[in-house]
Amino acid sequence: MLYPLSYEGWGVTRYRVTVRCRSAERHGRPPDRSGRYDARVATVLVVEDDPVILQLLEVNFELEGFSVVTAKDGFEGLTQAKEGRPDVIVTDIMMPRRSGLEMLADLKADGALAEIPVILLSAKAQTADVRAGLEAGAADYITKPFEPLDLLERVQRVLAS
């Protein structure tokens, strides 16, 4: 199912998502006295050509406290990744100009970007498609339609690893 998360009437307090992640080292932050990197707000780059799904993902991640950057295709996504160095990338596969798999290959080929985890989000649900995505270096693969809560859990799991 594809629907925005609703917190109306639940009395839910929004929390900023902070993670202790190795990406802090990538961003030039020094470790604290215990050798850990400072907790900070996690940044998600969402790459999706469907404007409805793009907005849905952006809103859901923001509601959960993530900082969100968006792109409409793999070419723009690669540019955003180089400029902003996100903590995780969630990308569709089938997009104009540059597919999510092509963008993933470019990320893995760039030493400075190779460590950014990528979660593929696609309507391509065949076992061979999932296997190809994971073998290309994706941290996870989610098929559409998807549950937004499942996506959020998987992003948090990838960030924690």
SS3 sequence, the chain? CCCCCCCCCCCCCCCCCEECCCHHHHCCCCECCCCCECCEECEEEEECCCHHHHHHHHHHHHHCCCEEEEECCHHHHHHHHHHHCCCEEEECCCCCCCCHHHHHHHHHHCCCCCCCCEEEEECCCCHHHHHHHHHCCCCEEEECCCCHHHHHHHHHHHHHC
pLDDT of the residue at 117: 97
pLDDT of the residue at 40: 62
Residue in 81, 79, 117 with CA at minimum distance from that of residue 97: 79
Averaged pLDDT, groups of 10, the chain, 161 residues long: 42 41 47 49 94 94 93 95 95 93 95 95 90 95 92 92 84
Task: Note if the pTM is more than 0.85.
Answer: no
